[in-house]
């Protein structure tokens, strides 16, 4: 592979998108469970503020199959299907509290993984069957 000068420097991920059947139902799920605040909310898109300067975008499946015109330019087409994955940081000390809250809401924990490097993950599904992970520090070299 040919080397190309400098790498592009980034400071993190700003947006993560999930494609859902019912934006309002999914937005209610994430707002209720995590307390995320809506920054933009309509029938085709909900933008939720995630702590740490991140945004969870919930797009209605099939609504971004044409470029989306904005006053500043067009956003290219995008869409996805199937069961996607999203992971949210939690503190190691809050793992048991999260398990209790999920149980109280009748949200089934599909799996728990205790990772060799340290840290743990809890996995469950959202209303569209996307895999949601709650992850404690120590799983990755950088987290």
52-111 pLDDT per residue, tens: 999 999 999 999 999 988 999 999 999 999 999 999 999 999 999 999 999 999 999 999
Are residues 88 and 136 part of one domain? yes
Cβ atoms of 127 and 108 within 8 Å: the answer is no
Inside any domain, residue 34: yes
- Single pTM value for the model: 0.91
Are residues 101 and 57 part of one domain? no
Residue ranges of the alpha helices (H) in the chain? 23-34, 95-104
- Domain region containing 126: 83-143
Inside any domain, residue 77: no
How many domains, in total, are found in the chain? Answer: 2
Are residues 97 and 55 part of one domain? no
The model's pLDDT over 104-138, given as tens digits with 9 standing for 90+, comes to 999 999 999 999 999 999 999 999 999 999 999 99
Residue among 52, 46, 47 at smallest CA distance from 91: 52
Are residues 87 and 61 part of one domain? no
Inside any domain, residue 126: yes
């Amino acid at each position: 592979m040919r080397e190309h000068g400098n790498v592009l420097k980034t400071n993190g991920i700003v947006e993560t998108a999930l494609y859902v059947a019912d934006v309002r139902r999914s937005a209610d799920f994430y707002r209720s469970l995590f307390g995320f605040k809506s920054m933009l909310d309509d029938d085709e898109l909900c933008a939720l503020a995630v702590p740490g300067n991140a945004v969870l975008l919930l797009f209605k499946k099939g609504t971004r199959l044409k470029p989306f015109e904005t006053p500043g330019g067009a956003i290219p087409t995008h869409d996805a299907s199937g069961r996607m994955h999203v992971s949210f940081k939690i503190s190691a000390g809050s793992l048991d509290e999260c398990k209790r809250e999920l149980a109280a809401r009748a949200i089934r924990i599909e799996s728990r993984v205790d990772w060799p490097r340290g840290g743990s993950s809890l996995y469950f599904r959202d209303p569209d069957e996307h895999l949601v992970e709650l992850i404690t520090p120590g799983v990755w070299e950088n987290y």
